[in-house]
Amino acid sequence: MKTRKMLMSLVTCFIFSCFIHVTVARADELVTDGKAAILIEAQTGEILYEKNPHEQLPPASMTKMMSMYLILEAINNESMQWDEVIRVSENAASYGGSQIFLKPGEEMTVRDLFKSIAIASANDSVTALAERVAGSEEAFVEKMNEKAQELGMKNTVFKNPTGLTTEGHLTTPYDMSIIARHLLSDYPEITEFSSLYEDYIRQDTESPFWLVNTNKLLKYVDGVDGLKTGFTQEAGYCLTATANRNDMRVIAVVMGGSKSDIRNQEVTRLIEYAYEQYELVPKLESEKIVSSGYNMLAKNRQFDIVTAEPITVLKKKTDKEQESNYEVKLNKEIKLPIQPGDQIGTLTYYYNGEVYREIPLTVKESVEKNSFIGLLGYIVSQMIFGENA
């Protein structure tokens, strides 16, 4: 086992020796081999670089980002548990390609199956979990396409949960950046798995199985903690990578590369370009008090209105700071009770004289409806003592 790991490490080091030292190229030189690519800043969603971002191409195993999203959604909804034991079907065990060699009837926890997807891109594992989440592989694919439309992935059609070559199974770099961004923001625990370079499953058996991450950038590019590689003969070499440095997260997608090392070089150049050229400037923190509300029917008639999300401005490091301001607009009807997180208005943030972003407004603390006795007491006090009572 140790000899095998040592050989793998030596091979990996050799592969990466040609691009460990990456210099930042001009924007037009970032991706020349890959057929299509995109680079975005995750918090704002702003595009920093693109090449044929809406060209439909086969995504290979990057497909599994959507599969993992739906699996994590099921766990979050408590319809499935991490420690639940799954019995593997004949269908799931029959899958080739990247796999952990599951056998029909074998039992494995959701956590280990998910781990083998995130690290080793296991086709058999993702199929087993897809069947558990939706009842069948076909039903899971329907859920994949429904979620794609819900998230705005307009040029994506999924035919399977694995990414194995199937006619009509297509997406775009732009759509892959959408699912990657949602995966990271909605289920940040994904990086607990995708950041692991190696791990084991079947640890309590006589044949522990060594998982090695297909994303080699984890070892050689600062801040990289995911997300998903892909390769088939039809798709070429694909990669959606994400890195986080100094609270700025970027997502880079390259599709249709001719070789894995060239694909890795191009994704690395995208990431380095982002951090060399851009920075995030905090403007409004989450839960900042921006206004106050009043409702005579509430127990606490006056209450603080706060931002539900932070606002940061993405700018080129060479650009000067521009003037900024914001406008608060409350909903015409605000029904009681109001809980923190309930949207009661919108804040429009202006940067350099233009609308930069809109975020929801909510309350800092719960605003409960007053009782009849409480309301009556308030009216009486107003009549006797006046408005300041």
Least Cα distance to 314 among 277, 340, 341 occurs for 277
- Mark whether 154 is an active-site residue: no
- Dist. CA 327–CA 239, nearest whole Å: 40
- Mark whether 103 is an active-site residue: no
Question: CA 286, 289, 295, 297 torsion: positive or negative?
Answer: positive
| Marked catalytic residue, from 98, 121, 125, 177 | 121
| Marked catalytic residue, from 51, 64, 228, 315 | 64
The secondary structure of the chain, three-state, reads: CHHHHHHHHHHHHHHHCCCCCCCCCCHHHCCCCCCEEEEEECCCCCEEEEECCCCCECCHHHHHHHHHHHHHHHHHCCCCCCCCEEECCHHHHCCCCCCCCCCCCCEEEHHHHHHHHHHHCCHHHHHHHHHHHHCCHHHHHHHHHHHHHHCCCCCCECCCCCCCCCCCCEECHHHHHHHHHHHHHHCCCHHHHHCCCEEEECCCCCCCEEEECCCCHHHHCCCEEEEEEEEECCCEEEEEEEEEECCEEEEEEEEEECCHHHHHHHHHHHHHHHHHHEEEEEEECCCCEEEEEECCCECCCEEEEEECCCEEEEEECCCCCCCEEEEEEECCCCCCCECCCCCCEEEEEEECCEEEEEEEEEECCCECECCHHHHHHHHHHHHHHCCCC
Question: CA 257, 263, 265, 268 torsion: positive or negative?
Answer: positive
| Marked catalytic residue, from 51, 61, 195, 228 | 61
- Mark whether 64 is an active-site residue: yes
Catalytic residues: 61, 64, 121
